[in-house]
Structure 1
Amino acid sequence: MYQVIGATKSRAFRVIWMLNEIGVPFEHIAAAPRSEDARQYNPSGKIPALVDGDAVLTDSVAIMTYLGDKHGALTASAGTVERAKQDAMTLWLIDEFDAILWSAAKHSFVLPEEHRVPAVKDTLKFEFERSAAQLSERLEGPFLMGDHLTIPDILACHCLNWAIGAKFPRTDDKLFAYGKSLRDRAAFQATSAM
């Protein structure tokens, strides 16, 4: 059985949601970032981590990709054009959504106060709005990669929720409805209840 290390109010939510989607059992260790519990699995204290037997994997996207490949779920097959398109979308979301939100978090509460530049958050909100509009234009079906849920959907929804919590501007109605449809899924609800 897998162990997932990390509080659900972190990127560990993505991993737990994916495991709930694919119906794979796991044990959840709700460790806070940089806590002693987290450092047992990742010396940097970063979360999430996934324990699979003797292996400890880190980084939410790497973990989700591993789980998708291992279980043949929520991902296109490696070595296919579909997978290359999925990976391109995943990396775009990391660059244009996740990185922006993480920068805002760092300048809000992560960095030591003397190193925070609160004024940068206005620029980050502008960047996020621009990226959200691009994502909305790319959304042609019920999911980012077509007619079924994939890793990029979990990543996008998590970032959209993060943006709401960080008081970023509301997305357009199309992207808002997309996020709501994902939040209505049973696996998302089960993860939220943890």
Structure 2
Amino acid sequence: MYTVVGATKSRAFRVMWMLEEMGIDYDHNPAGPRSDDAKKFNPLGKIPALVDGDEVLTDSMAIMTYLGDKHGQLTAPAGTPARARQDAMTFWLVDEFDAILWAAAKHSFVLPEDQRVPAIKDALKAEFARSAAVLSDRLTGPFLMGDQMTIPDILAVHCINWSIGAGFPRVDDKLGAWAKEMRDRPAFKAAQAKETS
């Protein structure tokens, strides 16, 4: 059985949601970032980590790609044009959503106070808003890649949720309604319930 290492209110949630969507049981170790427990799985103390037998994998996107390929779910097959398009969307989301939110977090509470540049957050919020408008235009089906849910859907919704908690501008009504539908999925709620269990 897999073990997901990482607090629910972190990128570990992406992995948990994916496993819930795939109907795969897993154990959850809610270790916080840089905690002694997290450092058992990643010397840097970064979360999430996935324990699969004797293997320990790190980085949420690497873990999700591994799980999708291993189980043949929530991903287009490797080596296909559909997978290349999916990967392009994933990398765009990492660059234009996740990285922007992470930069804002670093300048809010992650970096030592004397290294933070609070003024940068306004520019990051504006950049995120531009990217959210692009994503809204790209959303033409029930899911980002068309008729089937894939890894980019989980990444995008997680980032939208993160942006709300970080006080970023709200996404437009179309993207907001789509994200709400995704949050209403039973698998999302099951992963979220781990927070209180």
Normalised by the size of structure 2, how large is the TM-score? 0.98
**Shift of residue 192, structure 1, vs aligned partner:** 1.1
Letter in 2 for 1:81: P
Matches within 5 A, 1:1-194: 1-194=1-194
Letter in 2 for 1:94: V
Which whole-Å CA distance do the structure 2 matches of 1:191 and 1:41 have between them? 21
Letter in 2 for 1:21: E
SS at structure 2 position matched to 1:181 = helix
Aligned length: 194
Percent identity between matched residues is 73
List alignment gaps of at least 5 residues for structure 2.
Answer: none
**Shift of residue 170, structure 1, vs aligned partner:** 0.6
RMSD: 0.4
List alignment gaps of at least 5 residues for structure 1.
Answer: none
Which whole-Å CA distance do the structure 1 matches of 2:178 and 2:42 have between them? 34
Which whole-Å CA distance do the structure 1 matches of 2:191 and 2:3 have between them? 15
**Shift of residue 148, structure 1, vs aligned partner:** 1.3
SS at structure 2 position matched to 1:27 = strand
Which whole-Å CA distance do the structure 1 matches of 2:146 and 2:163 have between them? 24
Q: Could you list the per-position Cα deviations for residues 72-118 of structure 1 after superposition, in whole angstroms to 9, with x for gaps in the alignment? A: 00000000000000000000000000000000000000000000000
Which whole-Å CA distance do the structure 2 matches of 1:166 and 1:17 have between them? 21
Letter in 2 for 1:121: K
Normalised by the size of structure 1, how large is the TM-score? 0.99
Letter in 2 for 1:22: M
**Shift of residue 193, structure 1, vs aligned partner:** 1.2
SS at structure 1 position matched to 2:63 = helix
SS at structure 2 position matched to 1:125 = helix
